[in-house]
Amino acid sequence: MRSPRSRSRPECRNGRSTRWCTVRTERRISTVERDGLVFDVLDEGPLDGEPIVLLHGWPDRPTTWREVTPILNAAGYRTLAKDRRGFAPGARPRRRRDYRLPELAADVATLIDEVGGSAHVVGHDWGAATAWAVAGLHPDHVRTLTAVSVAHPAVFMESMLRSNQLLKSWYMALFNLPVLPELLVRTLPEWFDRQLVKGGMRPEDVARFRHEIIEEGALASSLGCYRAVLLTDPRVTRFRVSAPTTMVWSTDDVALGRWGAEHSEEWVDGPFELVVLDGVSHWIPTEDPEALADAILARVAR
């Protein structure tokens, strides 16, 4: 059941336009609905704080932000960690085309509408790809963008030809095969879990993946974002971003190369900063939440 629509009123400061006003919301948001799909939301921090929308990747859920949100909340920001399409129990459509990038971005824009029409947007992994799309396709909804690990979609595609990204992305081809990935995860759990650990995921987070995705029945639907890649018109990804942007990348990321991180600036018209975390794996939100929170706060404070 959808939570009651929050009543909110803009509080403008320093003569800023209504679009950039802080929004005071009287009620927490636990779910948001779009086109019959219901997404769960973890709404934390001061209700009158500027909203920061947090988008997780694969194979994560909103709990991946559990060590980041307390830092953002303590700094006075309201955080809304949204369960993504394919993961949320009420948002698991069957068709591959329902997971195309514009659909993922529109889901987020709907949540932002619930908190006043604009927010700071942060995404990791597939959440970062989605965050880029929100900033490019719904620019009025995004105050600032912090993309973690994944480059601008157009740059990511170009990096396949300009760097070693194609080799790093071998698993994307695997995930596009029907049935086989699900069988591997279920019938060879030790092998699959070992791949995650080799990539830097902590054992406790592997256990969380087993519980939050496999046991809760989200494995096949969560792969929808990968299986819709070939159905997405490449021209859709060639959007420019006007929001002030920070790109966070880590040197021990086994899935994403540096080339994409360094060239994302070419698609950003606003201020851009690249933050490189040395010795950190792909799983930045859980491995180095303090450094990530610092990067987010530095961006939104500007």
User: Closest Cα to residue 178, out of 226, 214, 217?
Assistant: 226
Residue-level pLDDT at 18 = 39
CA–CA distance, 228 with 99 (Å, rounded to integer): 6
Strand partners, 241: 268
pLDDT at 27: 87
Specify the pLDDT at position 24: 47
* Res 140: pLDDT: 97
Which residues of the chain are under the pLDDT cut of 50? Answer: 1-24
- Report all structural domains of the chain as residue ranges with CATH numbers, in order of start: 8-301 (3.40.50.1820)
Distances in Å between the Cα of 233 and the Cα atoms of 98, 201, 237 are 13, 32, 8
Contacts of 98 by beta carbon, 8 Å cutoff, 6+ apart: 85, 224, 228
Q: What is the pLDDT of residues 15-64, one digit of tens each?
A: 333 344 444 456 899 999 999 999 999 999 999 999 999 999 999 999 99
Q: What pLDDT score does 26 carry? A: 65
The whole-model pTM stands at 0.91
| Interatomic CA distance for residues 77 and 51, integer angstroms | 6
Instruction: Provide the pLDDT for residue 177.
Output: 93
State the pLDDT at residue 15: 33
Question: Which tokens is 103 given?
Answer: 């659909």
Q: Would you say 62 and 83 are in contact if contact means Cβ atoms under 8 Å apart?
A: yes
Q: Residue 302: what pLDDT?
A: 84
Q: What is the pLDDT of residue 85?
A: 97
